[in-house]
Amino acid sequence: MEERIFQSTWHYINTHWPLILNWTAQHLQMVAIATAIATLLGVGVGIYIAGEGRESLANVVVNMAEIMLTIPSLALYTMMIPLLGSIPGVQSIGMVPAIIALILYAQMPIIENTYTAIREVSPAIIEAGRGMGMTPREILYRVKLPLAFPVIMAGVRNAVVMSVGIAALAVFVGGGGFGIPIFRGIRNLRVDLILTGAIFSSILAIILDWLSGIVERRLSWRSRGGGK
């Protein structure tokens, strides 16, 4: 029984490479677009709420981010359909809602990490910067952000890994990716399709986790002044 399962999966993978590559490309595309936008948004929001005199706003945003992360992804995708459907001119089915849901999720760890990292920069260092005659803008770009960088990168890595997992559910709102073979397999009782989707999406997630770990370490090493 088990042997047959693996044989048929192996056969399917061997005969359907173009299709698998296509799903990989779709999956990567969703993750890439979503994390790129989420990084911009997340770092922007994080920097904004970490500013002077915005403590209460920061509190609300960080709490909201925390609560948002507890909402199950399947539930969020499902809620996206009527929400987007009520806005005229926006597709409620397809790649667009899939990516919007991904952005909503992926920006949360980035906002949280950016905010805490900037807040935790030692006041003494900021004071020193001010003493050297830096403007607030210079302090932000040349003191706070470089020091906060490793933590922000950790948030981005977290966001990438999360998006790979959540993007697998994108097929639910008509997006692409490895959710397609899994859903198709379950609907049609095709074990080979199910396993192909499960194996490849897991491999993709593990590879991206590993790669973003390398990028994180390399970049944060440089921001501490190690690399030339």
Binding interface with another protein (CB under 8 A): 2, 5, 59-60, 63-64, 66-67, 70-76, 78-79, 81-82, 85, 161, 164-169, 172, 178-179, 182-183, 185-186, 191, 194-195, 197-199, 201-202, 205-206, 208-209
- Residue 41 C-beta: closest distance to another protein, Å: 20
**Cβ neighbours for 159, distance < 8 A, ≥ 6 positions apart:** 35, 38, 39, 42, 105, 106, 107, 108, 109, 110
- Residue 156 C-beta: closest distance to another protein, Å: 15
In the bound state with another protein, the residue whose beta carbon lies nearer, of 149 and 178, is 178
What φ, ψ does residue 94 adopt, rounded to 5°? Answer: 120, -160
In the bound state with another protein, the residue whose beta carbon lies nearer, of 43 and 182, is 182
In the bound state with another protein, the residue whose beta carbon lies nearer, of 110 and 164, is 164
- Residue 117 C-beta: closest distance to another protein, Å: 14
Question: How many whole angstroms separate alpha carbon 46 and alpha carbon 48?
Answer: 5
Picking from 78, 71, 96, the residue whose alpha carbon sits closest to that of residue 162 is 71
In the bound state with another protein, the residue whose beta carbon lies nearer, of 213 and 222, is 213
What φ, ψ does residue 189 adopt, rounded to 5°? Answer: 55, 45
**What is the per-residue DSSP string for 30-53?**
HHHHHHHHHHHHHHHHHHHHTSTT
Which residue type is seen at 69? L
Question: How many whole angstroms separate alpha carbon 105 and alpha carbon 122?
Answer: 29
In the bound state with another protein, the residue whose beta carbon lies nearer, of 21 and 69, is 69
- Residue 137 C-beta: closest distance to another protein, Å: 28
- Residue 157 C-beta: closest distance to another protein, Å: 10
Dihedral of alpha carbons 34, 40, 43, 44, sign: negative
